[in-house]
Amino acid sequence: MSGTRHLGRLLSLSMLILALAPGSAWAHALSVGKGLIAVKAREVEMTLLLNLGEMTTRFSLDRNGDGIVTEAELQSKREEILAYLENPVKVTVEGAPLAREIERFGLASVPNAVEVRMRFRSEGPLENYAIQAHPLTELGEHYRLYAGIEQGGEWEAFAFRPEAEYKGTRLGFAAHAARFLKEGILHIFTGYDHIAFLVGLLLIGGGVFGVLKIVTAFTLAHSITLSLAALQVVALPSRLVEAGIAATIVAVAAENLSRRPIVPTRWLLAFFFGLIHGFGFASVLQELHLPTTRMVSSLFFFNAGVEVGQVTIVLLIAPLLWLLARSAAQGLVVKVASGLILALGLFWLYARVFLPA
């Protein structure tokens, strides 16, 4: 791969990198890095961009404690880091690991990333091979590395985790659908801010019909912006989106605590704020290096997974809300729950606005 072509791909990949912070503040499954993997006849080229913050935590890169990791500080840990990468990053053929060649190790040209470029050569044709690339995922169960995998001129997305390795056979339609359906379900269940917002809306949803209107409005709204963002028709800074999501949680909780919450038009609130949440849902798909044709099907099944997760949450809390509506303690429970949601929202808003990414 020529230097110019490689740089172009790295710049494309850099556009997909989102600013990351500790999980409790950002309330999503976290990415510890991005990857570009090219599978050829007898070799695999792999470029990883690993989150500098997580690398600093794992390997104590900032040796002088000035808050800035220099190239010299990173290179002082070169052997330790490369030795560590041997286990979570490998290519095997028929179960046997291929030899690794390091082509570049250093600070990336994009912010907040360490670039590791390597090559795995095979003596024979690549058949029945498997790729593992899950460095730093031991830092948390929701951590993963997103990669675009190119083979024969076609691209495929893959989210690497310790239990998920890429097999050498391209996924069929059913397996592709299942993968992104699962990603959508996981995203909603690990998106604690989305759950807090939804619960806040439903606490005083106004009966079965009111709940249906709220859920429908929220679904329609976030589907619109999820599609626009994932297809790169509209792009907003991730930090702005995450702060906006936190602000919607604060607004809904505060409205619950007001003397006269506007229950009949709550679906309008759900729709307006759902537009903001859709950009948050799109963040996972924006991290995957996909052509538009693959993105469309991925988007459809990912969104379907989000809806499955959302409906499951509603079905779980709906009976509790029905019982609560018939209880003398409804007012107290709503205020306490809304107070907790407000506190969470304020914490996330502060973290996403004022804390470094």
Is the residue at 117 inside a domain?
yes
224 and 125 inside one domain: no
Residue at which a domain ends, from 105, 139, 170 = 170
Q: Is 131 inside a domain boundary?
A: yes
pLDDT in single tens digits along all 357 residues of the chain: 444 444 444 444 443 333 333 334 444 445 678 899 999 888 999 999 999 999 999 999 999 999 999 999 999 999 999 999 999 999 998 889 999 999 999 999 988 899 999 999 998 878 789 999 999 988 877 788 889 888 877 778 888 988 889 987 655 677 778 878 888 888 888 888 989 999 998 888 667 777 888 889 999 999 999 888 877 788 888 889 999 999 999 999 998 898 676 667 788 889 999 999 998 888 766 665 554 556 678 788 888 998 999 999 989 988 888 888 888 888 898 899 999 999 999 999 999 998 875
Task: Give a yes or no: residue 176 inside a domain.
Answer: no
In a shared domain, residues 154 and 192 = no
DSSP codes, 180-206 = HHHHHHHHHHH-HHHHHHHHHHHTT--
> Residues 164, 35: one domain?
yes
Q: Within this chain, do residues 41 and 107 fall inside the same structural domain, yes or no?
A: yes
Q: How many domains would you assign to the chain?
A: 2
Residue 114 and residue 213 share a domain: no
Whether residues 58 and 97 fall in one domain: yes
Domain end marker among 137, 170, 203: 170
Is 303 exposed, middle or buried (CB count within 10 Å of its CB: 0-12, 13-18, 19+)?
A: buried
21 plus 52 within the same structural domain? yes
Same domain, 158 and 238: no
113 and 30 fall within a common domain: yes
Co-location of 151 and 187 in the same domain: no
pTM listed for this prediction: 0.60
Q: Are residues 124 and 56 in the same domain?
A: yes
Q: Is 326 exposed, middle or buried (0-12, 13-18, 19+ CB in 10 A)?
A: exposed
Residue 233 is part of which domain span?
A: 183-354
Same domain, 219 and 150: no
